[in-house]
């Protein structure tokens, strides 16, 4: 079934600052179900593999070093229209430009350290869920 699942990560600084619980609470309050959840510390190679689509961008090194700098919380979220609604909930990539009340506005500090990741399409949601979770962990 498409349109019901998205993938999120709570990025290292937000985890370090103790915001993981608050962010998950907000996600639940917005009507998502958490299908799978794990905390992992990516190595550089894993961060590079996850963000491979950005490998030619000037910020690739900064992004992947940051994402490997500490533990992240990865989760599969379920809700109708999950991908699009979750992008609205997290707000613009740059927290300074994110709408009031969005997760990136509340918990992000700058363009790189923007608190959370959210999939940008159903196709990428599936790829990203599969990067972190097994078939059994993706069942719902
Ligand atoms: P998104 O996370 O809103 O989908 P993308 O364009 O997919 O944004 O970029 C992936 C991540 O790379 C962003 O969440 C952000 O943390 C980081 N990023 C994007 N642009 C820049 C930049 O110009 N400098 C540093 N980091 C960036
Ligand atoms: Mg993106």
In a domain, 43, yes or no: yes
Question: Active-site positions?
Answer: 117
Per the listing, tokens 């959840």 go with: 37
In a domain, 78, yes or no: yes
Per-residue pLDDT of the chain (140 residues; tens, 9 = 90+): 568 999 999 999 999 999 999 999 999 999 999 999 999 999 999 999 999 999 999 999 999 999 999 999 999 999 999 999 999 999 999 999 999 999 999 999 999 999 999 999 999 999 999 999 999 998 87
Contact call for residues 37 and 74 (beta carbons, < 8 A): yes
- The CATH number of the domain holding residue 83 is 3.30.70.141
At residue 38, the pLDDT reads: 98
At residue 28, the pLDDT reads: 98
Instruction: Identify the residues whose C-beta falls under 6 Å from ligand 1.
Output: 54, 59, 62-63, 93, 111-112, 114, 117, 120
Taking the centre of ligand 2 as the mean of its atom positions, its distance from the CA of residue 54, in whole angstroms, is 9
Q: Tell me which residues have their CB within 5 A of the ion that is ligand 2.
A: 120
Q: Kindly report the CA angle at 70 between 108 and 59, in degrees rounded to 5? A: 60
In a domain, 87, yes or no: yes
Residue 50 structural domain: 5-135
């Amino acid at each position: 079934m498409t349109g019901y699942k998205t993938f999120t990560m709570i990025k290292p600084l937000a985890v370090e600052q103790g915001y993981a619980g608050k962010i998950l609470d907000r996600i639940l309050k917005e009507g998502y179900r958490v299908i799978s959840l794990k905390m992992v510390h990516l190595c550089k190679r894993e961060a590079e593999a996850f963000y491979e689509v950005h490998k030619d961008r000037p910020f690739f090194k900064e992004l992947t070093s940051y994402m490997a700098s500490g533990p992240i919380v990865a989760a599969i979220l379920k809700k109708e229209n999950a991908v699009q609604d979750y992008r609205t909930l997290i707000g613009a990539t740059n927290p300074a430009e994110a709408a009031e009340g969005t997760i990136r506005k509340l918990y992000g500090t700058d363009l790189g350290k923007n608190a959370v990741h959210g999939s940008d399409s159903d196709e990428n949601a599936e790829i990203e869920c599969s990067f972190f979770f097994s078939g059994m962990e993706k069942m719902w």
